Structure 1
Amino acid sequence: MKRWQNWLQLGNVLILIVTAWLLVDGMPNILRWRAARVAAPVKRPEAFDWVDPAKGLGIINFYAYPGAIAEGETTSVCYGVMNAKAVRIDPPIAELSPSFNRCFEVSPERTTRYTLTTEDAKGRTLSKSFDLIVMPEPALAPSISYFRVRESKVDRGDTVHLLCFATRNATLVGVDPPAFPGSQILQGCFYAVPRKPVTYTLTASGTFGRKVKRQLTVAPSGPVEK
């Protein structure tokens, strides 16, 4: 019984010592630690350092994927900017706004250089460019299926020829000497009333500046064989 009382007295003494330490030294230290923790700035993960305003205006990325396509195909152009007020791409593609990551589809007819320009609130600008390669597709080259005299007739002493043509993959068709305005018509006919032999040159233009030509000579008496 006496031993148990001794242990109880010892426990009470220890409680008094701990309480005194908390009141004199421990509690103020705990309060100071908590205050310092609240006041300390929260450190952002390094993965998000590029959004820090202190880093200023910047271009995070600007690219096309895939960076080379065949004629007629589509690819994605993506961009990302930081601390920007405005952004634009030349040649113009779409209505843009500052974004950390945005993509859109394009389908240029030929190899094109795209330039991204971004501007901050102080008027400072940054630019970045890349070339999107477009490879010609032989199957899409322009061609002339035929260019010939369909019929001839005499009207009031003049020979009138009906010249007809057909093309494929042409974006513009024209004839010289001019008989009709250049247009995107792929197939058609026109009249010719020559007073002497005349050589007409039909030109079919396609993408990448590709052109194909065919000639036809007509005379008052009819087509001239070559």
Structure 2
Amino acid sequence: MNSSRFEISIGEALSAHGLIVRGGFNFGPEERAPQGPSGSPARAVVVVGQAGASAWPHFLAWRERQPKELRDPLDTWAREVIGAVAAQVGARAVSPSDRPFVPFQQWAMRAEGLRASPLGLLMHPRYGLWHAYRGALLFDTEIEVAAGEEAVHLCDACVAKPCLKSCPVGAYSGTGFDYAGCRSQLHSGAGRQCMSSGCLDRLACPYGAAYRYPTDMQVFHMKAFVA
């Protein structure tokens, strides 16, 4: 695939839905790659996602046309959109929630050179913690895109680490995430602030403030987590 097809056909198709290319790379000959569109092991992957709330208005407009009882609407929307783009460019679309699971976080780290924050979310030098990966495109042929070089990791320069000090139940620590403690807090009356504004630890991060999700988007994600 030539670079113009990669940048124009894929990028423009995604931008109509508020999504962007988040990098890509070619699989090495010794790697166990998932199936490409032909059924043979893929030769390349392009990671798809969003920066800030860029995709949110597009999702909301789509959601209004769907049944209220639809389960996992954001995943459903992303599959629909990225699947349509895949059909345009001769790729196979995969989602982070598809089974068998593919190593999306490793792909993202390789594609953009990112590292995990103390919260487990990947820290982006521009977007901070306010970005997401919604899917990927698998190709039967190699693509002309360089693998991401390691980006500046903002967490290294952050001494205060407010992201580890703002949760009322200390759900995040240097040793992992207290899933049960977090859910228990959110299900109780004490978790109203978290449910109405978003994860307090994530909000405490000083980076990428211009890309911070709007309140309704954060509430949506909190409700999905509790459910």
Which TM class, normalised by the smaller chain length? under 0.3
Question: Quick one: higher RCO (CA 8 Å, sep 6+), 1 or 2?
Answer: 2
**Higher fraction of strand:** 1
TM-score by length of 2: 0.17
Radius of gyration: which is bigger? 1
TM-score by length of 1: 0.17
